[in-house]
């Protein structure tokens, strides 16, 4: 319902990923009642995340794209702010995003700034050197232009097999090929954290055991390593440019992070500002990388 509070005209493209309840009927009835133009897409097989978003990008032709998660709340004017920011760049690959407000389960009044919860300064989160280990562009806040979507189509097979998440992959493409920027003081998204988040931030009352934390870091190592390897493949099809070469050098260092590292290799990542933030997470990632090999799933 929160999508309707905008003056900019838009269409809602929705892919039902084999829901088992009355989701389809609810979505069609609600959009009809609210006067939202809806286009439904359905696939024979369940795609999961990020597959459903990539499939929609492949199917939908538009001037500006915004990712929408089914259980988040958009503040009034969010679409208007994103479109207004991207219109001057509509002819080139460009992406913008904002800082979401985080809440836990149904408590949408207890809001917290995303980067504050992560213990990260927004300026530090946006450092290009960390782009392969830290994604500041949270999917439900992201908007981007058709040229960026077209660039995705060039590498879509790589994205489908290597991307950690849809928003993160598009952010990397935007950094390499055009513009990626964070919007300040604009309407954003209320980002709900719950037990079934595909890739949440772990906000809430549930404490994580040391064993679970260890396994989570192993999973993260595999994700960032695979995505960096995908970028190395995609870069071969990109126009040569200094920023591409810089990102390619970083990606080559990160793509081996799923293997057991040496102290020298981890110090090199630290010195170049290529470890994730905050530092307690960087320390944990370094410890796991020095002591174990994550190439094979446990």
The pair of three-digit structure tokens given for residue 227, joined into one six-digit string: 């995505």
- What's residue 151's pLDDT? 96
Would you tell me which CATH number, out of the four given (3.40.50.300, 3.30.420.40, 3.90.550.10, 2.40.37.10), belongs to the domain 44-193? 3.90.550.10
Q: What is the pLDDT of residue 59?
A: 93
Among 92, 81, 61, 106, which residue's Cα sits nearest to residue 6? 81
Q: Where in the chain is the domain with CATH 3.90.550.10?
A: 44-193
User: Is residue 96 within 8 Å of residue 86, measured between CB atoms?
Assistant: yes
Distance CA 225, CA 229 (A): 6
pLDDT for residue 194: 57
pLDDT mean by block of 10 residues, the chain; 298 residues: 85 84 85 90 83 94 91 91 96 97 76 92 94 95 98 96 97 97 95 61 60 90 97 93 96 96 95 91 92 78
State the pLDDT at residue 148.
98
Give the pLDDT score at 20.
75
The runs of H, that is alpha helices, within 135-278 are: 146-154, 156-162, 166-177, 210-235, 242-254, 263-271
- Rounded to whole angstroms, how far apart are CA atoms 128 and 131? 5
């Amino acid at each position: 319902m929160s999508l309707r509070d905008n003056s900019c005209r838009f269409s809602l493209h929705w892919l039902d990923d084999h829901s088992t309840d009355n989701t389809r009927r609810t979505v069609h009835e609600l959009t009809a009642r609210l006067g939202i133009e809806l286009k439904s897409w359905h696939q024979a097989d369940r795609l999961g995340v990020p597959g459903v978003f990539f499939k929609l990008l492949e199917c939908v032709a538009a001037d500006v794209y915004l990712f929408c998660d089914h259980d988040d709340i958009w503040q009034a004017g969010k679409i208007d702010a994103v479109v207004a920011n991207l219109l001057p760049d509509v002819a080139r690959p460009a992406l913008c995003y904002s800082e979401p407000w985080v809440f836990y389960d149904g408590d949408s009044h207890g809001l917290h700034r995303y980067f504050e919860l992560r213990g990260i300064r927004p300026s530090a989160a946006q450092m290009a050197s960390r782009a392969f280990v830290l994604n500041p562009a949270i999917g439900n806040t992201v908007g981007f232009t058709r040229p960026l979507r077209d660039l995705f189509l060039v590498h879509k097979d790589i994205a489908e097999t290597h991307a950690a998440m849809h928003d993160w992959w598009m952010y990397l493409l935007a950094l390499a090929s055009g513009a990626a920027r964070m919007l300040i003081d604009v309407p954003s998204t209320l980002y709900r954290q719950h037990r079934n988040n595909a890739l949440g931030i772990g906000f809430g009352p549930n404490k994580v055991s040391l064993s679970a934390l260890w396994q989570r870091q192993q999973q993260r190592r595999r994700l960032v390593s695979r995505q960096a390897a995908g970028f190395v493949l995609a870069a071969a099809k990109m126009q040569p440019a200094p920023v591409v070469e810089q990102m390619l050098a970083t990606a080559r260092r990160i793509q081996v992070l799923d293997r057991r590292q040496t102290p020298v290799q981890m110090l090199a990542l630290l010195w170049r500002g290529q470890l994730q933030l905050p530092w307690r997470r960087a320390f944990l990632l370094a410890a796991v990388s020095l002591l174990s090999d994550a190439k094979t799933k446990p």
